Amino acid sequence: MAAIQRRSKPVDRAIKLFNQRRREYLQKYDPSRLRLPENKDMTLSEFQSMDLDDPLWNDGHFYHTRAPWATDPLVRGGIRSVHLLDRVEEIELITQELDRAITWAHSYHGLILSKISLIELAAEEPVDVNNVEFSSFLTGFSMKGRLRLLHSELKLHLNEHERLMVGWMPDVRFLWTKTRCQYTKSEHPWFNVIETVKKHLNGADMAFIDDALENLTFAENGTNVEEQEQAENNAQDFRSPQTNNRVMRGSMGRS
């Protein structure tokens, strides 16, 4: 902040000098323009927020009025063209970054789903206790236990990623509309899955509410929910920590 303040002082002095000379010039040659809003004294904050196509840079009476940039229409047209090219380049960069972002989100979503499917396939009875693909993970658990834990964690991760994708939806729609032209592709697989993802999240939220109501009913009836769930887990021979039983059961049950 101190460095910015140091650099702003010379600019502020130049702006004040500009304001003074503009007043003197207009008072001498065109006093009626002094009352116009655009000729009021300029501040540093206004100067910092000023666009490159602001009339300030196009008004020939300020400085070097005989310079080509102030009088030659070809030079002035060239300056505007350069500004336009800069804007086009910015739009191209935004287009590229948008495509990369939604391509990553779509591909990563598909990768998580494929891993979940692989785990579900490995968990089908009879479970291969010597499954090479999962033998190096969580060696303190039985094969069923590690598959259950991996499945639960990936389900949670999938839920987080889908919420991220849904959170992007308004911005993606807006930017996609603004960046499409004859030279850009008009379709993307993101749009083929995002509505399904949104519906899946809404369904998961409703299932969470149902689970909460069910647990409340158990509590009102004096039933120990955790003991009941533990008994169900033991019957399935999933050797996972007791503290994770509720999360894992909910994830596997809705998969």
Instruction: Please compute, for residue 6, the number of CA atoms within 13 A of its CA located in the half-sphere on the CB side.
Output: 3
Chain segment 91-105, per-residue pLDDT in tens: 888 999 999 999 999
pLDDT exceeds cutoff 80 at 140: no
Per-residue pLDDT band for 25 (boundaries 50, 70, 90) equals: confident
Q: Which of 48-62, 98-112, 135-149, 202-216 is predicted most confidently?
A: 98-112
Segment among 30-34, 124-128, 202-206 with least mean pLDDT: 202-206
Helix axes 190-220, 73-122, angle to 10 degrees: 50
Residue 124: phi and psi, rounded to 5, are: -65, 145
The two tokens of residue 214 are 């069910």
Chain segment 232-249, per-residue pLDDT in tens: 544 444 333 343 443 334
| pLDDT (mean) for 169-176 | 90
Per-residue pLDDT band for 162 (boundaries 50, 70, 90) equals: very high
Residues 6+ apart with CB under 8 A from 55: 38
Residues 6+ apart with CB under 8 A from 35: none
What pLDDT does 172 receive? 92
